[in-house]
């Protein structure tokens, strides 16, 4: 079952991991071994969580990589469902 309008995982990262620890984007990017621009894109919802980033986040914040990927998958699927009626797909059935 799909969650209703799930937050982008970047929002979760910002609100539940970065802000409570009083960290800056620069601090977190450095700890993750990525550029500030890369992390900022994720936090601002312009980029998604890749499997590699999920592993990096799991190490840095002692979480599971699967949880990050699940959040991204739920977000992406919900977004795609919003355009279901625009898709030009025919239902297939056995002849």
* CATH number of 59's domain: 1.10.260.40
CA dihedral 71, 76, 77, 80 (to 10 degrees): 160
Question: For residues 26 and 33, is the Cβ–Cβ distance under 8 A?
Answer: no
Q: How many domains does the chain have?
A: 1
Would residue 86 count as lying in a domain?
Answer: no
What are 93's two structure tokens?
Answer: 């059935």
**pLDDT confidence bin for 2, thresholds 50/70/90:** low
**pLDDT confidence bin for 1, thresholds 50/70/90:** low
Q: Per-residue pLDDT tens for 29-79?
A: 999 999 999 999 999 999 999 999 999 999 999 999 999 999 999 999 999
Q: Domain range holding 54?
A: 9-79
Contacts of 22 (CB under 8 A, 6+ apart): none
Contacts of 4 (CB under 8 A, 6+ apart): 78
pTM for the structure as a whole:
0.90
């Amino acid at each position: 079952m799909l969650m209703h309008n799930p937050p982008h995982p970047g929002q979760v990262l910002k609100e539940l991991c970065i802000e409570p620890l009083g960290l800056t984007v620069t601090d977190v990017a450095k700890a993750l071994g990525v550029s500030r621009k890369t992390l900022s894109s994720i936090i601002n919802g312009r980029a998604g969580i890749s499997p590699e980033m999920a592993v990096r986040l799991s190490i840095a914040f002692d979480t599971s990589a699967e949880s990050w990927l699940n959040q991204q998958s739920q977000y992406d699927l919900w977004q795609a469902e919003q355009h279901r009626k625009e898709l030009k797909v025919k239902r297939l059935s056995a002849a």
